[in-house]
Amino acid sequence: MTATSTPASTPAAKTTTDRTASVRKTDIYNDPAFNYAQFWTGRDYEHHAEVIALRRLLRGRRFEHAVDVGGGFGRLSVILAEYADRVTLADPSTQQLELSERIFPGQSFIERKLMDAAHLDFADESADLVTLIRVLHHLPDPAPEFRELARILRPGGLAVVEVANSAHAANRIRHLMRGQRISRLAVDLRSEESRRRGTAPYFNHHPETIRRDLSAVRLDVLAVLSVSNLRHPVIKSMVPERAMLAVERAAQHRLARLYFGPSAFFLLRKRAA
């Protein structure tokens, strides 16, 4: 699954109460009016923050086969290629896979496959690294995707799952000022109009809920990083990117236990049955 543009502002985010109500619609990710590569224009800090996190979690490791599930145009697939002999970019959008071929031509070590994250066309236990990054934003209930991820991962294999974090520091402050608690359910960030128009799902998740759901499919957390900790328009407009990334490198591990940033990266290992 691939990310979409930021949803229109909404007076109040809607909490999902029925975690099985939404049906996956993958055709929305072929919108010709949306170019995911252009989405990253002006988001260099966020991209580099995610690269820092991914390299930190994979440092010193080597894999035979890595699968980048919902990898879009391959933004992070090329990073996985630093650690794996073979990388498969799996995405449900023909548009994104074609964009990948244009942006990263001649990358013969990256195989591109058209598939939905909930229906991965790989044999059981055929991968030893699987990543799911910038995907949970689009899943009100990621249980089917987690089951597939665990199915294709060999026992002892590793996964990196990124959580669009509803419990980040700024949101906790907002809820505290309103006398509210952070919901443990997925929170729909779309406006009412966006929901009526059937735009792409856009959800945040509580990291402890995601951690529990991952454990249910035998994926145990080895490490957590807090990512994109300085992602705020005011900070980005005032602080040089190099300085922001220096702080990011120092903060990712230190702030992880607080789930401080808007994104949390989990490094997981599949336990034996």
- Global pTM? 0.87
Enumerate the H helices of the chain as residue ranges.
36-39, 44-58, 77-80, 94-103, 143-152, 169-178, 192-197, 207-216, 233-238, 241-254
Q: Residue 51: is it exposed, middle or buried by C-beta count within 10 angstroms (0-12/13-18/19+)?
A: middle
How is the chain split into domains, by residue range?
26-270
Place of tokens 């597939």: 148
Q: In the prediction, which pLDDT does 25 show?
A: 58
Q: Which of 4-13, 93-102, 180-189 has the least mean pLDDT?
A: 4-13
Q: Looking at the predicted structure, is the pLDDT value of residue 22 above 90?
A: no
Strand partners, 127: 153
Query: Could you tell me if 145 and 19 are in contact, meaning their C-beta atoms sit under 8 angstroms apart?
Result: no
Residue 34's pLDDT band (cuts 50, 70, 90):
low
R_g over Cα of the chain: 18
Q: Which is more confidently placed, 13 or 66?
A: 66
Q: Looking at the predicted structure, is the pLDDT value of residue 12 above 60?
A: no
Q: In the prediction, which pLDDT does 219 show?
A: 98
**136-180 tens-digit pLDDT:** 999 999 999 999 999 999 999 999 999 999 999 999 999 999 999
Residue 32's pLDDT band (cuts 50, 70, 90):
low
Q: Residue 92: is it exposed, middle or buried by C-beta count within 10 angstroms (0-12/13-18/19+)?
A: buried
The CATH superfamily label for domain 26-270 reads Vaccinia Virus protein VP39 (3.40.50.150)
Q: Which of 55-59, 199-203, 240-244 has the least mean pLDDT?
A: 199-203
Q: Looking at the predicted structure, is the pLDDT value of residue 190 above 50?
A: yes
Percent of the chain past pLDDT 70, that is, above it, reads 87
**218-262 tens-digit pLDDT:** 999 999 999 999 999 899 999 999 999 999 999 999 999 999 999
| Secondary-structure percent of the chain, ordered helix, strand, coil, rounded to 5 | 35, 25, 40
Picking from 226, 222, 220, 183, the residue whose alpha carbon sits closest to that of residue 205 is: 183
Residues 6+ away with beta carbon under 8 Å from 62: 83, 84, 85
Picking from 256, 246, 228, the residue whose alpha carbon sits closest to that of residue 43 is: 228
Can you give the length of the chain in residues? Answer: 273
**97-136 tens-digit pLDDT:** 999 999 888 777 799 999 999 999 999 999 999 999 999 9
